Amino acid sequence: MIKTIEWTDEGVRMLDQRLLPAEEKYLMLRSYEEVAEAIKKMVVRGAPAIGVSAAMGLALGASQSVGTSVADLEDDFDYMCKVMSETRPTAVNLFWAIERMRQTFRREQSKDTRPEAIKACLIAEAQQIFTEDIAANRALGRFGAELLADGDTVLTHCNAGALATAGDYGTALGVIRGAIDAGKRIAVIADETRPFLQGLRLTAWELAKDNIPVTVITDNMAGHVMKSGKVNAVVVGADRIAGNGDTANKIGTYMVAVLAREHKIPFYVAAPISTLDLTLKTGAAIPIEERDPREVTHIKEHQLAPDGVGVQNPAFDVTPNELIAAIITDRGVARAPYVESLQGLMATSAVGSGG
Amino acid sequence: MIKTIEWTDEGVRMLDQRLLPAEEKYLMLRSYEEVAEAIKKMVVRGAPAIGVSAAMGLALGASQSVGTSVADLEDDFDYMCKVMSETRPTAVNLFWAIERMRQTFRREQSKDTRPEAIKACLIAEAQQIFTEDIAANRALGRFGAELLADGDTVLTHCNAGALATAGDYGTALGVIRGAIDAGKRIAVIADETRPFLQGLRLTAWELAKDNIPVTVITDNMAGHVMKSGKVNAVVVGADRIAGNGDTANKIGTYMVAVLAREHKIPFYVAAPISTLDLTLKTGAAIPIEERDPREVTHIKEHQLAPDGVGVQNPAFDVTPNELIAAIITDRGVARAPYVESLQGLMATSAVGSGG
């Protein structure tokens, strides 16, 4: 099992995804600032993984707080939440995880007034979020598996795999792994996903590790490959899903969705419930992160573009709900009209949560 | 003026496009084999530039033939044509230029039986092809300029500029330069165009050199940028245009065309008449070159993908005629139905050729 993020006695252990596939190197992050920096610099990326990382970072930071009163701890914790919330703007799982840690703080505060008790609960909560993420992806993998047929070739964009989550299954790749675990033969076509090359570097790496057949294409080949009849379904992850089903995901996802419709290929989004943001009516309200132009102009230390050329680098785009055949979550599969189906899933209990 | 290819007394001088924009280095190619190798290795690329290069390579090769009879020269020349025709399969300008050099050989052979006379004519013909290419692009630039409005932002894919032709204006960028020379303000959005990054490296470089405002995006941003309303028109080049208007061009062009239609943005193809292949009824018959996977898995010497990952690398795709608003040539602008309009243009005389 790929261990994207792990809670250890020494700190938060993270696989440095910037170095993959050349190097499989793990960093030991020993403060909440180091975790925040790792999220910002994309040591770790992928909405669920960012959420889990943020929770662990807050637990780590709180555990190191030297305040002797709950009030001191609360001040420290609030500041840490602020720092953590400013790392990346698009993935709602970040804010979801921070809010859940805040609620844990408040709940414990009302029960126990010793800082150490609250710290212990925050650590337990971060580990719970980790465990639930693994379970959620297993669950959505089972639901999604039913949408794929034996022999299908699935195109995916970016990396929505073990590396984009707490580890293990992943979301979009969780659906693929779920289908394979259900005995279906599935082949994957991975868009390389410029500029960060999550497809070429990460999806290819983790699928190859699991012996799942994968072919990498440049992003601009997706249309040509679909036209040639080689793609049976598209499955992607999500960074934030609005109330109407509009989905923010890695830049290029919208393009893939338009091409899928053009070629009558079903386009599926796979994400845990924590990626839903029902406070937003439509995708128009989702903030889209603009990242450093250097990610486009350079590869590693290599400058590829002329000096000073203008560059745009939006990290995400929004796919309108009408292009989405279904949204696969850990609580079931939502279909249009999404306003109703997503609210319905949100109201149901988590699978296996026992209540 | 950018001098992509030049005939000199020493040989064929070529800008090494693999090194741009980091280095502006010119190679002196001293044999037809070196020219063939330069085409194959993409020292020079772009359909019109390949055609001009092939003609110059054949002229150079013929001029170096040591045969004392016309029969010897013909044997040598036929072999050179064969080598040259095997460099790259998709751009029809290559075969067009080779055929034109063959015809020149036959025409001169029927008039003069001295090898030296034939050699001189082949050199003159190659230079004529060069001159006509510059003139053709100026002409199509004037025709195309009328399709763009003052203040337009034009998205282009790959490099169909000075660097894709004999030099000077280019085809798609010739339309943009034509509009600017007609007093219109035009901004350009350039797809970076993986895997060879012609947009990021070449289009950005030559437009910046001409002070034409250019913003580079990764290929997967095209949909997002179009959706945001920033693009007024798309203009691309072509490697081969079938009788019905179906157009082979750099991989990703088809995707851009689908996205343009989705956003109601006119999609134009700009190419000289030598890019028409009316022997092919549809684009389905156009051979699509599959290139080395290393172009996708590596950047320079840097390996980005995991060892042994499967890769597809088709260098071109075919855009069906129904997605093309107009085909801009040096003899005028063709619109649907293309079977008639393209045949009509083919039958007309070249602009400025005097008959």
The pLDDT assigned to A350 comes to 63
User: Is the separation of the CB atoms in A259 and B256 below 8 Å?
Assistant: no
Choose the closest CB to B205 out of A208, A306, A317: A306
pTM: 0.97
**Cα–Cα distance list, A196 to A26, A114, A189, A192, B220 (Å):** 19, 44, 17, 9, 12
The answer as to whether B190 is a domain residue is yes
As a three-state string, the secondary structure of B90-159 is CCHHHHHHHHHHHHHHHHHHHHCCCHHHHHHHHHHHHHHHHHHHHHHHHHHHHHHHCCCCCCCEEEECCC
Does residue A355 register a pLDDT over 70? no
> Rounded to a whole number, what is the distance in Å from the CA of A267 to chain B's nearest CA?
16
Q: Is the same domain home to A188 and A286?
A: yes
Residues of A in contact with B191 (CB under 8 A): 220
Token reading at B110:
């029927």
Phi and psi at A203, nearest 5°, equal -60, -45
> What is the residue type of B63?
S
Q: Which of A137, A155, A177 is the last residue of a domain?
A: A137
Same domain, B204 and B269: yes
**A239: annotated active-site residue:** yes
pLDDT given for residue A351 in this prediction: 54
Per CB-CB distance under 8 Å, the chain B contacts of A227 are 254, 317
The alpha-carbon gap from A33 to the nearest alpha carbon of chain B, in Å, equals 29
Same domain, A108 and A156: no
For strands A214-217 and B310-311, give the pairing. Answer: parallel
Together in a domain, A132 and A147: no
Question: Does B354 map to a domain?
Answer: no
CA end-to-end span of chain A: 29
Q: Residue A250, by phi and psi: left (phi above 0), alpha (psi -120 to 50) or beta?
A: beta
For residue A43, the 8-state DSSP code is: S
Residues of A in contact with B193 (CB under 8 A): 220
Quick check: A184 and A152 in contact, CB under 8 A?
Answer: yes
Indicate if A107 and A173 belong to the same structural domain.
Answer: no
Closest residue by Cα to residue B195 from B172, B218, B164, B176 = B218
Distance (Å) from the alpha carbon of B205 to chain A's nearest alpha carbon: 6
Mean predicted lDDT score pLDDT of chain A: 96
**Integer Cα distance of B343 and B130 in angstroms:** 24
pLDDT over 90 percentage in chain B: 95
Is A257 within the bounds of a domain? yes
Assigned token pair, B332: 């005028």
- Rounded to whole angstroms, the Cα distance separating B51 from B47 reads 6
Residues of B in contact with A214 (CB under 8 A): 309-310
**Residue of chain A minimizing CA distance to B217:** A312
- DSSP codes of every residue in B22-60: T---EEEE-SHHHHHHHHHTTSS-SHHHHHHHHHHHHHH
pLDDT at B350 over 80: no
Q: Mind listing the pLDDT tens digit for each residue in B146-163?
A: 999 999 999 999 999 999
Phi-psi region of B245 (alpha: psi -120 to 50; beta: other; left: phi over 0): left
Give me the mean pLDDT over the B321-332 stretch: 98
Distance CA B245, CA B234 (A): 17
Which of B40, B65, B66 is CA-nearest to residue B53?
Answer: B40
Q: Do A251 and B218 touch (CB under 8 A)?
A: yes
Distance (Å, whole) CA A216 – CA A198: 11
Cβ separation B304–A201 shorter than 8 A = yes
The H-or-E segment that residue A46 falls in is none
Instruction: Count CA within 13 A, CB hemisphere, residue A61.
Output: 26
Q: Is there a contact between B67 and B75 (Cβ–Cβ < 8 Å)?
A: yes
3-state DSSP assignment of residue B270: strand
Q: Are residues B152 and B94 in the same domain?
A: no
Q: Are B101 and B58 in contact, with CB atoms under 8 Å apart?
A: yes
In a domain, A329, yes or no: yes
Query: Domain of B44: which CATH number?
Result: 1.20.120.420
> Which residues in chain B are contacts of A295 at CB distance < 8 A?
none
Structural domain includes residue A353: no
Q: What is the pLDDT of residue A354?
A: 39
- What CATH number has the domain bearing residue B184? 3.40.50.10470
Q: Which token pair is B281?
A: 């009824």
Q: Active-site residue among B239, B246, B277, B317? A: B239
Pairing of strands A267-270, A233-236: parallel
- Domain identity same for A57 and A86: yes
What is residue B219's three-state secondary structure?
Answer: helix
Answer yes or no: is A352 within a domain: no
Please say whether the beta carbons of B235 and B156 come within 8 A.
yes
Contact B191 A220 (CB under 8 A): yes
Find, among B181, B197, B106, B96, the residue nearest to B138 by Cα: B181
Q: Flag whether B353 is in a domain.
A: no
| Spatial contact of B165 and B4, defined as CB atoms under 8 Å apart | yes
* pLDDT the model gives residue B351: 54
pLDDT tens digits, B76-107: 999 999 999 999 999 999 999 999 999 999 99
H or E element that contains A269: strand A267-270
Q: How far is A69 from chain B (nearest CA, A)?
A: 50
Domain that holds residue B187: 140-346
Total of domains in chain B: 2
Calpha distance A343→A337 (Å, rounded): 10
- Whether residues B325 and B231 share a domain: the answer is yes
Q: B96 and B17, same structural domain?
A: yes
Asked if residue B322 and residue B295 are part of one domain, the reply reads: yes
> Could you report the per-residue pLDDT of A74-98, keeping only the tens digit for each?
999 999 999 999 999 999 999 999 9
Residue-wise over A143-168: b if at least 16 C-beta within 10 A, else e? bbbebbeeebbbbbbbbbbbbbbbbb
pLDDT band at B353 (very low <50, low <70, confident <90, very high): very low
Test A317 with B227 for CB contact under 8 angstroms: yes
- The arithmetic mean of pLDDT across residues B60-71, rounded, is 95
- Give the A:B interface size as CB pairs under 8 Å: 174
**Which of A223, A304, A307 is the closest to B254 by Cβ?**
A223
Task: Determine the Cα–Cα distance for residues A302 and A230; give it in Å rounded to an integer.
Answer: 34
Please report, for residues A92, B156, B177, B231, the alpha-carbon distance to residue B148 in angstroms, rounded to integers and kept in the order given: 41, 13, 11, 12
Catalytic residue among A76, A152, A219, A239: A239
Contact B220 A217 (CB under 8 A): no
Assign B349 a pLDDT band (cuts: 50, 70, 90): confident
Of A81, A111, A137, which residue is a domain's last? A137
Whether B131 and B144 share a structural domain: no
CB contact under 8 A, B314 and A224: yes
- Nearest Cα neighbor of A147 from A263, A255, A234, A59 is A234
> Which tens digits make up the pLDDT trace of A290-342?
999 999 999 888 899 999 899 999 999 999 999 999 999 999 999 999 999 99
User: For B6-48, what is each residue's pLDDT tens digit?
Assistant: 999 999 999 999 999 999 999 999 999 999 999 999 999 999 9
Q: How far apart are CA B321 and CA B258, in angstroms?
A: 11
What CA–CA distance (Å, rounded) separates B174 from B138? 7
End position of a domain, from candidates A85, A119, A137: A137
Instruction: Look at residue A47 in the predicted model and tell me its pLDDT.
Output: 98
Residue B352 pLDDT > 60: no
Considering the domain boundaries, does residue B351 fall inside one?
A: no
Measured CA to CA, the distance from residue A57 to residue A318 in angstroms comes to 28
What is the average pLDDT value for chain B, to the nearest integer? 96
The continuous run of DSSP H or E covering A267 comes out as strand A267-270
Residue B113's pLDDT band, with cuts at 50, 70 and 90, is confident
* CB-based contact B192 A192, cutoff 8 Å: no
Is residue B194 within 8 Å of residue B220, measured between CB atoms? Answer: no
**Residue B330 pLDDT > 70, yes or no?**
yes
- Residue B205 CA to residue B21 CA, distance in Å, equals 6
Task: Give residue A26's pLDDT band: very low, low, confident or very high (50, 70, 90).
Answer: very high
Residue B352 identity (one-letter amino acid): G
Does A299 contact B302 at a Cβ distance shorter than 8 Å? yes
Same domain, A16 and A90: yes
